[in-house]
Amino acid sequence: MNFVVPETGQYLSPAAGEIFVALAVLVIMLATVFARRAARGLAYFLTQLTLLVTALITISTLDSNTHFTFSDMFVSDPLSGLLKLVVVFAVMVALLYGRGYLADRKLDRPEYYLLVLLMTLGMMVMITANHMLVLYVGLEMMSLALYVLIAFDRDSVRSTEAGMKYFVLGALASGLLLYGMSMVYGATGSLDLTIIANKTSAFAIDSPSTDRTVLLFGIVFIVAGIAFKFGVVPFHMWVPDVYQGAPTAVTLLIATAPKLAAFAMAVRLLVWGLPHLAFHWQSMLMFVAAASIILGNLAALVQHDLKRMLAYSGISHMGFVLLGLLSGFAHDGVVFNEPIYSHRWFSLAFSGALFYAISYVLMSLAAFGMIVLLSRAGFEAVRIDDFKGLNRRSPWFAAMMMFVMFSMAGIPFFVGFFAKFIVLQAVLEAGHLWLAVVAIVMSVIGAFYYLRIVKLMYFDEPVDASPLRAPAELRVMLSVNGLAVAVLGIAPQALLTLCEHAFRASSLYR
């Protein structure tokens, strides 16, 4: 394979955002070295500025076309544009929420912000990859930064333990993914997702150049790698421990943007790269999704630590995202024991999954933001009992948390309802009635632990009646975030249209 370095700016422009972040990391590193005393504030400020400019670059380069560059290893399309925007936005909000928290615990060292930027860069690369190795490089860049971030509170045993756990398991998952990629490479002779899609199409099925067994073997490992990054059953064990062990500001980062990166990874690898083998990965995802929804909801019922509860609830939410992803293809018939996929695919399912993922990020940001809001120096509001009587202490933020809890439970008028609604519609349209029934039964069970939080906030008397003390920026942003959960529930049209446009315009069959 000949790698061609693009010569003119036109070919670099699809990667402008990534290049900018990479350069900014270097600049900030140097700047904080020389700034000495003001380094902390400067690093925070420059990081937010970088993210803002990245968002602007992403918006300005956004159009309805698909651009390839770097020998087709890199793709910029409406889907990547939307995902990048939301990722950058989520990181910005997470940093804003976490700032005071980190300062209270003396964790706001400049390295923290550099690592966050590197993580963001990794996610952006994952989102724009059209090549398995590029995707892998992005994944590792994100993961390595996260390993360090999780263990950032190095004096805390829990934090370092969580970092270690995530590192060992993450390395294993990366290995599985890479192994799967090598199998696919062995079967198709390429790592380029477009070429893989063509080689595995129905017309190439009987050609001797494609080895079915190796290919299917590879898919199993790829699905395992994806499932790990989503944090879904049976690769979910790390999720509660890491969420609990990491400093809450870092949990905010893990629980939000990387889910979108995992979504991008799943879409690129499975939907873009291996659409003709959908029958196989769909059946794997069905098991994974159903198991996640069941286990996530049941395990969340018995948690007393809010971060663990949200971790298990996140597992079930990711199960819902997978439900959407697996409902996107319907096969037209079976030829040679192999289902044949025509162009009949339901953008509703994919855009529904994307809508779900974005709304989950929004809800998750607000939920962990509430923990930060209630915490202060030397005190972590991680027990669910810490939310007792919040309505007495601050009716406004109790209402915000209530919005988020009802939204996560899928009650209208909140965004979580429409997310569940669209995904369920897609699942039914694809004909998987049993999956819809499982999802619905578990939603009722899951509603209990969200209701319990509302109960604690509204029905119980506060243990600690002191009013909330939090920086104004946190209060304002958290209010905007909570209101967004409600407003998007009443008017979801705009976001839905964006999600659908992202999938319609990003051509699937090239």
Least distance from C-beta 429 to other proteins, angstroms? 6
User: What are 299's two structure tokens?
Assistant: 């395990």
User: What is the rounded CA–CA span in Å between residue 411 and residue 11?
Assistant: 46
| Residue 3: other Cβ atoms inside 10 A | 7
Q: Is 291 helix (H, G, I), strand (E, B) or coil?
A: helix
- Find where tokens 């900030």 sit: 28
Among 144, 348, 374, 408, binds other proteins (CB under 8 A): 348
Residues of this chain, 475-494, that bind other proteins according to CB under 8 A: 492-493
Q: What residue has token string 């912000």?
A: 113
Q: Would you count residue 329 as binding other proteins (CB under 8 A)?
A: no
One-character DSSP codes across 392-422:
HH-HHHHHHHHHHHHHHHT-TTSHHHHHHHH
Q: By CB under 8 A, is residue 173 in contact with other proteins?
A: no
Binder of other proteins out of 451, 468, 483, 487 (CB under 8 A): 451
- Nearest approach, Cβ of residue 500 and other proteins (Å): 6
Q: Confirm or reject binding of residue 421 to other proteins (CB under 8 A).
A: yes
Q: Does 175 bind other proteins (CB under 8 A)?
A: no
Using the structure block, give the residue that is written with the tokens 């289902």.
339
Binding window for other proteins (CB under 8 A); candidates: 61-69, 287-295, 318-326, 423-431: 423-431
Alpha helices in 105-188 (DSSP H): 110-128, 132-150, 157-188
Residue 411 binds to other proteins (criterion: CB under 8 A): yes
Decide: is 68 part of the binding site for other proteins (CB under 8 A). Answer: no
- Any contact of residue 406 with other proteins (CB under 8 A)? yes
Closer of 203 and 459 to other proteins (Cβ) = 459
Would you give the DSSP letter of residue 461?
Answer: P
Binding mask 379-398 for other proteins (x = CB under 8 A): ------------x---x---
User: According to CB under 8 A, which one of 59, 302, 335, 428 is a site residue for other proteins?
Assistant: 428
Distance of CA 463 to the CA centre of its chain: 35
How many angstroms separate the CA atoms of 496 and 419, rounded?
A: 10
Tell me the C-alpha distance between 259 and 265, whole Å. Answer: 10
- Residue 412 as a binder of other proteins (CB under 8 A): the answer is yes
- When asked if residue 437 is in the footprint of other proteins (CB under 8 A), the reply is yes
Give the residue from 389, 388, 386, 391 showing the smallest Cα distance to 374.
Answer: 386
Nearest distance from C-beta of residue 356 to other proteins, angstroms: 13
**Half-sphere CA count of 427, side-chain side, radius 13 A:** 26
Question: Would you say 374 or 486 has its CB closer to other proteins?
Answer: 486
Looking at the Cβ atoms of 235 and 397, the one nearer to other proteins is 397
The three-point CA angle 71-77-78 to 5° equals 175
Which residue(s) pair with 376 in the sheet?
A: 379
Decide whether 220 or 483 has the Cβ nearer to other proteins.
483
For residue 339, the SS3 value is: strand
For residue 338, list its beta bridge partners.
335
> 467 has which bridge partners?
none
Q: Which is nearer to other proteins, 302 or 437 (CB)?
A: 437
Contact 366, 478 (CB under 8 A): yes
Task: Determine the size of the site formed for other proteins (CB under 8 A).
Answer: 36
356 belongs to the binding site for other proteins (CB under 8 A): no
Single residue of 120, 443, 481, 506 touching other proteins by CB under 8 A: 443
Give the binding range for other proteins (CB under 8 A) out of 174-182, 246-254, 320-328, 439-447. Answer: 439-447
Instruction: Name which of 303 and 391 has its Cβ closer to other proteins.
Output: 391
Asked if 66 touches other proteins (CB under 8 A), the answer is: no
Contact segment (CB under 8 A) with other proteins among 53-61, 75-83, 175-183, 449-457 equals 449-457
The one segment of 172-180, 319-327, 448-456, 467-475 that binds other proteins by CB under 8 A:
448-456
Nearest by Cα to 47 from 98, 95, 97 = 95
- The interface region with other proteins, picked from 67-75, 203-211, 242-250, 428-436 by CB under 8 A, is 428-436
Q: Is 454 in the site for other proteins (CB under 8 A)?
A: yes
Q: Which of 129, 232, 415, 424 binds other proteins (CB under 8 A)?
A: 424
List of E strands, 306-441: 333-335, 338-340
| Separation in Å, CA 215 to CA 59, 211, 286, 462 | 38, 6, 19, 58
Q: Decide if residue 505 touches other proteins (CB under 8 A).
A: no
If we measure between CA atoms, which residue out of 323, 321, 319, 325 comes closest to residue 345?
A: 325
Determine phi and psi for 107, rounding to 5 degrees.
Answer: -105, 0
Helix or strand (DSSP H, E) at 390: helix 390-393
Tell me if 330 contacts other proteins by CB under 8 A.
Answer: no
Q: Which of 195, 447, 468, 483 is in the footprint of other proteins by CB under 8 A?
A: 447
Give the length of the chain. 510
Given the complex with other proteins, which of 76 and 443 has the nearer CB atom? 443
Which residues make up the interface to other proteins (CB under 8 A)? 346-348, 351, 391, 395, 406, 411-413, 417-418, 421-422, 424-425, 428-429, 436-437, 440, 443-444, 447-448, 451-452, 454-455, 458-459, 492-493, 496-497, 500
